[in-house]
């Protein structure tokens, strides 16, 4: 193990994070003192603000939901996750005293920053069982996806010009493929089955001699389905096609092994694993070597694939987040699965006509997408103002169009408009799930009582048999 993290209770970590949030408007700086020593009999953290007021947070404080002086409960972890205070603690020295440029080779400031970056590179590599030399730091998964898709395609365009992806990929992959189409590349957008999974046999039929890359995300960010990555990797290796996976929602949540899964390129995001925003990574296989045409020019950092000064504090943050995620993956997985089952079963038992989108078995339990028939999703989101939720991807949430992912799996438009995504994470508590269940059931029943469509369904009228006319 590369570094020792203090053993602090989950509730305690969450309490101090919330305390920081409450005081962020009145204090420009704060210092966190950890009093969780082995001799301490009570788990407490003290937060010191600029105004010299000390706020002591107890792990056994009141569990009333939600406290009046706090913002809504957070259940949108597919959009982003809170920074783990233990990650912040590791980052702080590189924001203040150890501020050197990691590419400065003539003095100690540069040397210590370079050492920190290389340590983080090893931490990121360890979580996916890669060689540290195969890790390239980027600004996030969006940039990693752009480099992987565009970079590989452009480098090999003289020999191959066909790319395969799916209709349910993240927008940055789909838009990268559309950009390549404008450059003359041929792109196949594979459809998915009603459960959200691709048919590997259909993928095999789509591969041609000129296919250069297959890009399939590991876990979908809207419905949480886990694609058969190992099968896809084996197929691509047999066909001598490069395989890229967007693993922003998978790293730190499910075990990944780039060699066993035959993955050639993998995109990673820092802020999806309780690390800082603005930092990501791209795994690029060295043996057999994957060649990439860089998207930007500069000083040739990161093996010439991503020029620009590496941000040491952010890199240290994603490294610490990866190590923490690797250590706590088993515990997090069991706990999140338990909370997820509780949420889904309680809501579906109390409310009829609720559909879970995506495959119920091959799924990441921390991402729950439910459609509430005869309830407008936006209305339900507004009613659930005490809980931070989403109706789909944060990257497309400004659009009133139904989710393209739900349309791709064959969801009716009215059900697609009624979908809500619940994101459960490391710091989600039992009380928060119970509060969300209670509020969700209550507001769904109220909204349905106001719906003439629900009244017609209760009377046994088949809505699909009605011919609606517009006046």
CA proximity to 352, closest of 428, 444, 462, 289? 444
Q: What is the DSSP string of 251-286?
A: TTTS---TTTTT-SEEEEESTTTTS-TT-EEEEE-T
**Cα 214–chain centre separation:** 21
The helix-helix angle for 10-23 and 85-95 (nearest 10°) equals 50
Which residue intervals of 278-353 are DSSP H helices? Answer: 312-350
Beta partners for residue 56, in sequence order: 46
129 phi and psi, to 5 degrees?
60, 45
The DSSP secondary-structure symbol of 464 reads: G
Which long-range contacts link 346-353 to residues 24+ away (Cβ below 8 Å)?
346/437, 346/441, 347/437, 347/440, 347/441, 350/437, 350/441, 351/441, 351/444, 351/445, 353/457
395 is catalytic: yes
Say how far apart CA 380 and CA 394 lie, in whole Å.
17
Q: What are 419's strand-pairing partners?
A: 371
The whole-angstrom separation of Cα 343 and Cα 337 is: 10
Tokens of 112: 């210590």
Beta strand ranges found along 144-220 (DSSP E): 162-166, 186-190, 211-215
**Beta-bridge partners for 32:** 47
Q: What is the DSSP letter of 132?
A: G
Asked whether 138 and 306 are in contact (CB, 8 A), the reply is yes
* C-beta separation of 409 from 358 below 8 A: yes
CB atoms within 10 A of CB 27: 16
Burial label for 34, CB within 10 Å (0-12, 13-18, 19+), is middle
Are 78 and 420 within 8 A, CB to CB?
Answer: no
CA-CA-CA-CA torsion sign (362, 140, 149, 238): negative
Q: Residue 31 CA to chain centroid, in angstroms?
A: 29
- CA–CA distance, 237 with 250 (Å, rounded to integer): 21
Which entry of 172, 236, 395, 440 is annotated as an active-site residue?
Answer: 395
Q: Is 464 exposed, middle or buried (0-12, 13-18, 19+ CB in 10 A)?
A: exposed
Active-site residue list: 395
């Amino acid at each position: 193990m590369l570094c020792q993290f203090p053993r602090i209770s989950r509730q305690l970590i969450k309490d101090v994070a919330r305390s920081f949030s409450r005081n962020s408007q009145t204090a420009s700086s704060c210092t966190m003192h950890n009093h969780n020593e082995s001799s301490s009999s009570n788990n407490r953290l003290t937060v010191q603000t600029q105004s010299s007021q000390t706020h002591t947070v107890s792990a056994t404080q009141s569990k009333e939901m939600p406290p009046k002086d706090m913002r809504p409960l957070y259940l949108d972890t597919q959009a982003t996750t809170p920074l783990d205070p233990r990650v912040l603690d590791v980052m702080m020295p590189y924001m203040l005293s150890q501020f050197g440029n990691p590419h400065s080779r003539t003095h100690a400031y540069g040397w210590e920053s370079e050492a920190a970056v290389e340590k983080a590179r090893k931490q990121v590599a360890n979580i996916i069982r890669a060689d540290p030399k195969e890790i390239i730091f980027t600004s996030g998964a969006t940039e990693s996806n752009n480099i992987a898709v565009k970079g590989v395609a452009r480098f090999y365009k003289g020999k191959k010009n066909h790319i395969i992806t799916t209709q349910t990929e993240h927008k940055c992959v789909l838009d990268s493929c559309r950009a390549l189409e404008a450059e003359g590349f041929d792109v196949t957008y594979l459809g998915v089955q009603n459960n959200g999974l691709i048919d590997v046999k259909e993928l095999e039929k789509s591969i041609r001699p000129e296919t250069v890359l297959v890009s399939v995300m590991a876990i979908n960010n809207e419905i949480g389905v886990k694609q058969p990555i190992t099968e896809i990797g084996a197929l691509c290796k047999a066909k001598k096609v490069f395989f890229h996976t967007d693993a922003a929602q998978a790293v730190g949540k499910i075990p990944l092994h780039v060699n066993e899964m035959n993955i050639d390129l993998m995109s990673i995001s820092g802020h999806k694993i309780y690390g800082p925003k603005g930092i990501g990574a791209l795994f690029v296989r060295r043996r057999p070597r994957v060649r990439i045409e860089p998207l930007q020019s500069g000083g040739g950092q990161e093996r010439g694939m991503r020029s620009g000064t590496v941000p040491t504090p952010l890199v240290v943050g994603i490294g610490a987040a990866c190590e923490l995620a690797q250590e706590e993956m088993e515990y997090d997985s069991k706990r999140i699965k338990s909370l997820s089952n509780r949420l889904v079963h309680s809501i579906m038992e109390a409310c009829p006509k609720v559909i879970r989108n995506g495959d119920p078995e091959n799924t990441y339990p921390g991402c729950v997408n439910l459609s509430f028939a005869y309830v407008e999703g936006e209305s339900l989101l507004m009613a659930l103002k005490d809980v931070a939720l989403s109706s789909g991807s944060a990257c497309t949430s400004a659009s009133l169009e139904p989710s393209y992912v739900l349309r791709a799996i064959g969801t009716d438009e009215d059900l697609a408009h009624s979908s809500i995504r619940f994101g459960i994470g490391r710091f989600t508590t039992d009380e928060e799930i119970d509060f969300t269940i209670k509020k969700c059931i209550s507001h769904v029943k109220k909204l349905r009582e106001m719906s003439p469509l629900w009244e017609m369904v209760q009377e046994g009228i088949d809505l699909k048999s009605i011919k609606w006319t517009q006046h």
